[in-house]
Amino acid sequence: MKGGGDLTIRIELLKTLTRAAEVASVLRLRARRAIRPEPLPEWETVLSVELEGRTFDLCLKHISALLALHRAGGALPLSKLAEVCGMTNRRALSLLQQLEDMGLAKKIGTPWRRAAVLTPLGENVAAEVERAVKALLGPYPGLKF
């Protein structure tokens, strides 16, 4: 009889923990929607792209991630994005969250792997960034892009 009571308590505890995890997940989503990302400081903005009535202020990290994703066909595993951009996976995930907040990319996840995918707006912004970089490098034929 004693063993059955322990099992019931464990089941109830498991149900409570599962419900708490669900509530925490919902609260995280609500917080993410409620918190608006602060604009980049003026000194950190390298390039501003105006597209579809919006202005995107981009730093070097944003530019490198957008160009890497654009040149890879619009999607990369998070680990590869981190490697190409010269940062840790954790920092790449934070950068991807910033791009997601701007509507330029989204995270795709499985239990084993995470990936970054450009949105259609992200593809357009990345194409504009690539054009801007090529225009800057135009007078320097020795530099390849």
Q: What is the pLDDT of residues 37-95, one digit of tens each?
A: 667 777 788 888 998 899 999 999 999 999 999 999 999 999 999 999 999 999 999 99
Say which CATH topology domain 47-137 has. Arc Repressor Mutant, subunit A (1.10.10)
The residue whose two tokens read 């505890």 is 13
Mean pLDDT of 118-143: 88
Residue 7's pLDDT band, with cuts at 50, 70 and 90, is: confident
Other CB atoms within a 10 A radius of the CB of residue 142 amount to 5
Q: Is the pTM of this model over 0.75?
A: no
**Residues in CB range of 103: below 8 A, 6 or more apart:** 119, 121, 122
pLDDT of residue 23: 84
Question: 52-56: long-range contacts at Cβ-Cβ below 8 A with a sequence spacing of 24 or more?
Answer: 52/121, 52/124, 56/102, 56/104, 56/125
